Structure 1
Amino acid sequence: MEFADVVRRRRMVRDYDPDRPVPPEVREQLLEHAIRAPSAGFSQGWAFLVLETAEERHRFWSATTDDAAPDGWLTRMRRAPLLVVPLANKSAYLDRYAEPDKGWTDRDEARWPVPYWDVDAGMAALLMLLTAVDEGLGACFFGVPAERVDAFRSAFGVPAEYRPVGCVSVGYPGAGDRRSPSLRRGRRGVDEVVHRGRW
């Protein structure tokens, strides 16, 4: 598939065929592409928690959602045969930029105009989303609720220095997949968002 087609076809898939697992070679391709994402100072302060057994996925959903009956979105999302949680490690960046070639030995977080540890993990997630499309699968990036992060960490033994920036669900689109109602807003055009030379 041409890259332009991959970009045009990329969308968030919210329902999956539970009877079609993600082939292992595709899973590995997703992860190989994820680690090709840019990272500030080549810090590579990311990690990826891969959940593909029924028990692992159930533990994820139990840790990150409440006990209420699942709504339609959650019911469909729980069918995803593969979940990959990108995690960001701020300390890896602060440590890297305290090295001699960077020289910020005070590790002052105020030097960072934005949290590049999260930005870089997000870019890795985007590469997974694009790879899924290229491989003929669907994927969705969604958040882990802030109030459930501790439960998530506990459920999987995630060290405190790693923070989930979201989760990527992957699988073959299911029969119930439909366009998000949010898309009715329409995609903003280039002329609406691009400012050339000045605002």
Structure 2
Amino acid sequence: MDFLSLVKQRQSDRAFDPERSVEPEKLERILEAGRLAPSSCNSQPWHFIVVDDPELKNRVADATSNRILNINHFTKQAPVHIVIVEESANISAGLGGWIKRKHFPHIDIGVAAAHIVLAAAAEGLGSCMLGWFDEKAMRKVLGIPSGKRVILDIVIGYSVQEHRDKKRKSADTVISANHY
């Protein structure tokens, strides 16, 4: 599949086959794609926690769902959670971020997360990036130090969801040439 077709095919899946696990070799390739993602000044400000132990995975899923808002209840179906923890940027990226008033680790983690979900799609797997979760509970469940930020939880598994057409703004709304 060419890259643009892969991008068009990839979607945020919210229904997974709970009986089908992700093969270790596929998971390894997906993680390698995230690890190889570019980052500001090559700082690689991330740590990926792979959660596939069924009991622990369910506890992580509990930290992502919210009864009041009725969101993320599908996360227990996914056999794998990849929790991304922010690590410190190196001196160059940290100084550059301070000067330019940009938090490069968040940008870098976004790039790594995109690599992960596209690699999952290339492996025939569905995924969904979650930013809404109880960060304190996530840190406690996974033994993440209190000074670290949990940025994303990416659920991965075999999707049982129908493919949806993407609804995106038109190209002329979001792209211009040579000026705004």
Normalised TM-score (structure 1): 0.80
Correspondence for 2:140: 154
Correspondence for 2:72: 74
2:108 maps to a residue whose letter is D
Decide which of 185, 190, 193 is 2:171's aligned counterpart: 190
1:132 aligns with 2:129: no
1:44 aligns with 2:44: yes
1:144 aligns with 2:132: yes
How many residues were matched structurally? 180
Change (3 A) 1:108 1:197: closer
1:83 maps to a residue whose letter is H
Q: In 2, distance between residues paired with 1:112 and 1:164? A: 24
Structure 2: segments with no counterpart, 5+ residues: none
Correspondence for 1:57: 57
Shift of 1:8: 1.2
Structure 1: segments with no counterpart, 5+ residues: none
1:74 maps to a residue whose letter is N
Instruction: Spell out, residue by residue over 1:51-108, the C-alpha distance to the aligned partner (whole angstroms, 9 max, x if none).
Output: 1111111111233445x4995x53433200011011212xx31x432xxxx8x8xx59
Q: In 1, distance between residues paired with 2:96 and 2:170? A: 39
Residue identity (%): 28
Q: In 2, distance between residues paired with 1:64 and 1:136? A: 24
Shift of 1:195: 1.9
Over alpha carbons, which structure has the higher Rg? Answer: 1
Shift of 1:163: 1.4
CA RMSD, aligned part only?
2.5
Q: In 1, distance between residues paired with 2:158 and 2:68? A: 25
Work out whether residues 80 and 170 of structure 1, in 8 Å CA contact, stay in contact via their aligned partners in 2. Answer: yes
Shift of 1:152: 1.2
Q: Which moved more, 1:16-25 or 1:188-197?
A: 188-197
Q: How does 1:83-122 map to 2 (within 5 A)?
A: 83-89=81-87, 92-93=88-89, 95-97=90-92, 110-122=98-110
